[in-house]
Amino acid sequence: MLKKQQIKWINPLDLAHKISVSNYNQNWIFLYSGLNNTITNSKSYLGLYPHKEIISDQLLELEQDLSKRYFGYLGYDLKNQLENLKNGKKTFINLPNLWMINFELVIEFDHDKKRTHLITKDAFGHKVAIQKIINDVEFQHRIQQQHIITIKSNFTKSAYLKKLKTIQTKIENGEIYQANLTRKFFGKFTKKPKNPFEFFLKLNRASPANYSSFLKLGKNYIISSSPELFLKIDGFGKVASCPIKGTAKRFKDKKLDEQSKYDLQNSPKERAENLMIVDLVRNDLSKNCLAGSVVVKNLFKISSYKTLHHLSSEIYGTKSYHANNLDIIKSCFPAGSVTGAPKIKAMQICIDLEKQNRGVYSGAIGFVSDEACELSVVIRTLIIKEKKFEFQVGGAITFDSNPQKEWQETISKAKGITKTLGIKLSELEKI
């Protein structure tokens, strides 16, 4: 029987940093939601001491054991189990389609109430272990400088623009309304990073977001700063999704920044792009929600982050009596904002054009159980394995898309990660 014990408030970033430099060497997961967000109630989670790990290319094993709470990721290519879709080529860093962990200890941080809880069977023993880490571990203030040998992409700028035109032709022919075309960047460091958590801290400073996460899974590290909620399901069956579609640059000049925000919120093209995905998500949720319960709130809401403004909308529903949480996930996966509309056709077109599996990118990160679920969309995410790294950027292509602006948007979306890696945006522009 799990117990929930309150302890003295601990800054989650400080504790996670100390764990990263301590002698703890098992897999662990940190979900950080330190920014104010009404949908998530600003709670962060830290999972330690794995009890059971599900490492698989199939959903079935997870489906059979959701009485426990699992933390981890669902990779984009699980889509092939849900629809009749094919794979592309293997990605640079190959990971299984899902990696989920049930932990012996979960630390819950309530940012609003400044409360920390241990959720565990052994509250006393784990409290002692955590206190020892807090007392004994000192931060390593000298951050290792990383140097990159190579950085490449699955296609060049000219190839991207050509593929964009192909999508617009398919839209003109009535095959789809929009498609989310993505581009992968990958490369190598001169040496293996000593502490990949330092990249998480850098990314959190460069591009803070509501759904930041750090996953240490064997030799693999997934470092995410996602602003987008894929799905939240509470213990009462209330379901929420908050798709993002529509992006504008931020400016240091206040007037230019306000103008950018105004232009985004009033752009017919961006609003149409957002509305198409809202309709798609409403349809996906309706498959396993009570009839008439799915509603849209805060349509075309502007959410401002450090480097970008985003246009988002909120969709809510109530879970049907016959459905479980995984039914909701399967009917909505992958998130409509990273696919396009109609969903299946848009995914197939993107597979043909991108030619390479997305892997973790465009999937979901968070936790899931029979009782509750909270998953972010995997965007703004860096993956590291020893000397190798990869990240991916993309954007929705519509009939009205300006090719040069769409290409520039993908570069802008990479700003936080390139700053974290010490790469200049101009270097991406040359690839």
Question: Active-site positions?
Answer: 228, 245
Q: How far is CA 291 from the centre of its chain?
A: 29
CA–CA gap between residue 12 and residue 117 (Å, rounded): 12
Q: Residue 208 has which token pair?
A: 């803070």
Query: Which residue in this structure is represented by tokens 């396009």?
Result: 340
Q: Residue 105 has which token pair?
A: 């200890």
Q: Are 21 and 195 in contact (CB under 8 A)?
A: yes
| DSSP string over 73-86 | EE-GGGHHHHSS--
Buried b (16+ CB within 10 A) or exposed e, 323-338: bbbbebbbbbbbbbbb
CA–CA gap between residue 55 and residue 61 (Å, rounded): 9
Pairing of the two strands 244-249 and 238-242: unpaired
Strands (E), 68-160: 70-74, 98-110, 115-120, 148-153
**CA-wise closest residue to 88 among 415, 288, 357, 429:** 357
